[in-house]
Amino acid sequence: MRFTDLNPHGGIGANCCLCESNGFRFAIDSGLHPKFAGSESLPKHGEIERNSLDFIVLTHCHLDHLGSLPLLSRQNPDAPVFLTYGSSVLSRRMLSNSISVMKRQRRELNIPELPLYGRGDLSSLYSRMKPLSSESPLTIEKEGRSLELTLNHAGHVAGAASLTIKSKEERSFFTGDLLFNDQRTLAGAKPPLEPVDVLVTETTRGATARDPSRQRENEVVDLIATIGKTIRKGGSALIPVFALGRMQEMLVTLEEAFRRKAIPKVPVFCSGLGMDLVNHFHEISKNSKTLRFSRKVLKLIGARPLPRKLQPGRELPMQGIYLVSSGMMVEHTPSYILASSMLGNDRNSILFVGYCDPSTPGGALLTTQPGQDFEFEAIQWREKVRARIRQFDLSGHADREELLRLAEKLCPKTIILHHGDPAARSWFEESLQDSEARIIDPEPLKTYEI
Ligand SMILES: [Zn+2]
């Protein structure tokens, strides 16, 4: 196999891998780097000769995997795009939202090249999408050679898949973003355990040790108790979430908590994209066995859209639970604006339920001590930290030890470390030292012969 990581910044960002196996050329994912805008946020598609791909695989619909797929597909119009049914449903809403975000960035950041693609590119992409059932191999033939590819349920988010590639010569497994634990709405991953030649593994949590007393289920219990306490003392809870996946998981968790009376009944406010995606989750759940979700949950908890004009720093219009994006409290998003209104009141709580990059406002808030000032630079607002700030370990990614155990079971000859920051990859490299496999931490844009 030949492997090239086309994410020019390394770490986690504009995910896109170029692979060659048994004479077939294919790309896995094509994302946008969340910390950049415009062409800087793109993978290096220029390394792929125009219309040279035999196929493209999309593992799931988070924008760091999906966001630049319309461009890669436009440059490779003959390549079918293989994905799960769930991803074929979700990608439509995510990509049309991505166009709206790019149009806004064009105005706000003055980047004339935005949007990078338009509605016409999306229609062309959809016509190239070929949904595959999970765990059902597909054989592709070309010039007397064949390659078998299988999407394996990956648990991470609705529609997420790992990928098995098999030829006469070799067998490879690409984890994609992977979660073994069951979630409220989604079963965990059960990857095939047949030995492989090449394992490309995500390493997201390589630098994060899980405290044994903080298993996923305890974290949910602790989160509910903290929301309950906040509401009982007259405060509001802000839960910054990713619109895709975490929002819907939290809706179901809150519905259970209201039903058990663990949280007093208060309004739940949700931001737009996450509310829309509820309908897509409902549709997927109706048509596939892996997702358990009904749009009824919105009615059951009395969810309502956010008030239209939120004023930075102003008192909240109503006590409640605010379930809004972005998960890392990125500038100008509803969670950022709401935090500026809630931070100065000691009855409120700001509760993170996923990873926060240290360079984002969410990451910065998590390291600010109570009583210190916190700067909302984008809106020129400063507030003392009086609200309760907590982070709960409900990551959508497998623990590092679980991924090590998977690597052991698959007995690979080569392990490629992927989708992780440098510190995370280093932990894996060190921990795999005694394994017989060749370990590769690929440099961006360098091709490895395996
Ligand atoms: Zn993801």
pLDDT given at position 354: 87
pLDDT given at position 355: 83
Domain 2-208+396-449 in CATH 3.60.15.10? The answer is yes
d(CA 46, CA 192): 34
Q: 434 Cβ partners below 8 Å, 6+ apart?
A: none
- Closest among 26, 56, 32, 24 to 124, alpha carbons compared: 56
* CATH topology match: 2-208+396-449 vs 216-391: no
d(CA 154, CA 160): 5
pLDDT given at position 278: 96
pLDDT given at position 290: 84
pLDDT given at position 310: 80
d(CA 392, CA 292): 23
CB atoms within 5 A of ion ligand 1 belong to 62, 177
d(CA 282, CA 345): 37
Q: Position of tokens 């995370």?
A: 424
pLDDT given at position 388: 98
Q: 283 Cβ partners below 8 Å, 6+ apart?
A: 89
Q: What percent of the chain is helix, strand and coil (3-state, nearest 5)?
A: 30, 20, 45
Q: Residues of the chain whose pLDDT is less than 50? A: none
pLDDT given at position 349: 98
pLDDT given at position 315: 83
Please count the other Cβ atoms lying within 10 Å of the Cβ belonging to residue 291.
21
d(CA 313, CA 376): 10
pLDDT given at position 217: 87
Domain extents for the chain?
2-208+396-449, 216-391
- Distance (angstroms) between ligand 1 centre and the Cα of 59 equals 9
- Distance (angstroms) between ligand 1 centre and the Cα of 50 equals 27
* Assigned fold of 216-391: Rossmann fold (3.40.50)
- Distance (angstroms) between ligand 1 centre and the Cα of 62 equals 5
Instruction: For residue range 235-267, list pLDDT tens digits in order.
Output: 999 999 999 999 999 999 999 999 999 999 999
- Distance (angstroms) between ligand 1 centre and the Cα of 2 equals 24
pLDDT given at position 69: 98
- Distance (angstroms) between ligand 1 centre and the Cα of 121 equals 23
- Distance (angstroms) between ligand 1 centre and the Cα of 380 equals 32
pLDDT given at position 212: 85
One-character DSSP codes across 234-291: T--EEEE--TTTHHHHHHHHHHHHHHTTSS----EEE-HHHHHHHHHHHHHHHH-SSB
